[in-house]
Amino acid sequence: MIRLKNQTQLDGIRRSCRLLADVFSLLEPMVVPGVSTKELDEAAENAIREGGGEPAFLGYMEYPASICASINEVVIHGIPDATKLVEGDIISIDIGIKLDGYFSDRALTLPVGRIDDQKQKLMDITLECLELGISKAVAGNRVKDISKAVFEHACSAGYGIVRDFCGHGTGIELHEEPQIPNYIGRGPNPRLKPGMVIAIEPMINQGTFEVEILDDDWTVVTTDRKPSAHFEHTLAILEDRTEILTRSRT
Ligand code: MF3
Ligand code: CO
């Protein structure tokens, strides 16, 4: 069932998303060589709690941290630890918040100091995939219009598009229907309606689209160990426009 949100719910989700955007604004300047992913996790958890929220990922299916911190070949679900960021890395940070019962979800990939042109291009294309997907996320279109826009852009740049994980509805629960794949496959193709809140999240690899899960049962890596990037926003589909709820204000 796809849940359409009423005004009260949209306002609650908006507040959750605004707190999440603020948490990212705090975290972004911390991404420098020498900082550990655990330090980023602690800073995020503190900021979320100071804002009155809870980390939505902590304890979700027994996930052990507040953020996912995924370096280079780690696609998603990297568990924060003592690993320190190194100049030339790229790191994807994914965070979810529950505030007054309402969920928000966002991810972005950042450079650590100076990075090579290939990594920069991968990040640029992945962000463009998200932006193109968002441009199709309007009332009256269908889910596959988003999928197609993301897929075709990444494909024409020669990148691998992760298929094993998708975007999703969100807001009242962390993960709701519909699924928003980043490729065009079989499966349902619902129409986008006013009141829908969705998270679009392209995960794009420099090499193969294939991924595997490490022995910790969480960390998703590319099978060829080439780098991967991930950008995600939570959006509200409204009658006459689409609002990017997790966009930073600064
Ligand atoms: N961030 C993922 C998503 O966007 C969910 C993370 S699951 C967790 O859907 F277990 F790591 F929390
Ligand atoms: Co998500």
Domain boundaries, the chain: 7-244
Question: Ligand 1 site: residues with CB under 6 angstroms?
Answer: 57, 60-61, 63, 68, 77, 94, 96, 105, 168, 175, 199, 201, 232
pLDDT means per 10 residues, the chain with 250 residues, are 98 98 98 98 98 98 98 99 98 99 98 98 98 98 98 98 98 98 95 98 98 98 98 98 92
Q: Which ligand is located closest to the Cα atom of residue 220?
A: 1
Q: What is the 3-state secondary structure (H, E, C) of the chain?
A: CCCCCCHHHHHHHHHHHHHHHHHHHHHHHHCCCCCEHHHHHHHHHHHHHHCCCEECCCCHHHCCCCEEEEECCEEECCCCCCCECCCCCEEEEEEEEEECCEEEEEEEEEECCCCCHHHHHHHHHHHHHHHHHHHHCCCCCEHHHHHHHHHHHHHHCCCEECCCCCEEECCCCCCEEEEECCCCCCCCCCECCCCCEEEECCEEECCCCCEEECCCCCCEEECCCCCEEECEEEEEECCCCEEECCCCCC
Query: Among the atoms of ligand 1, which is closest to the Cα of residue 174?
Result: 9
CA of 138 to the centre of ligand 1 (A): 24
How far apart (Å, rounded) are the C-alpha atoms in residues 97 and 43? 14
Q: Which ligand is located closest to the Cα atom of residue 76?
A: 1
Cα distances (angstroms) measured from residue 68 to each of 4, 21, 41, 96: 28, 16, 8, 9
Residue nearest atom 2 in ligand 1 by C-alpha distance = 94
CA of 62 to the centre of ligand 1 (A): 11
CA of 117 to the centre of ligand 2 (A): 27
CA of 57 to the centre of ligand 1 (A): 6
Tokens of 205: 């690899």
pLDDT at 204: 98
pLDDT at 238: 98
Residue nearest atom 5 in ligand 1 by C-alpha distance = 57
pLDDT at 249: 77
Domain 7-244 in CATH 3.90.230.10? The answer is yes
Q: How many residues does the chain have?
A: 250
Query: Among the atoms of ligand 1, which is closest to the Cα of residue 57?
Result: 12
Cα distances (angstroms) measured from residue 4 to each of 103, 181, 211, 233: 14, 20, 33, 18
How far apart (Å, rounded) are the C-alpha atoms in residues 81 and 136? 37
Residue nearest atom 7 in ligand 1 by C-alpha distance = 57
pLDDT at 166: 98
CA of 238 to the centre of ligand 1 (A): 25
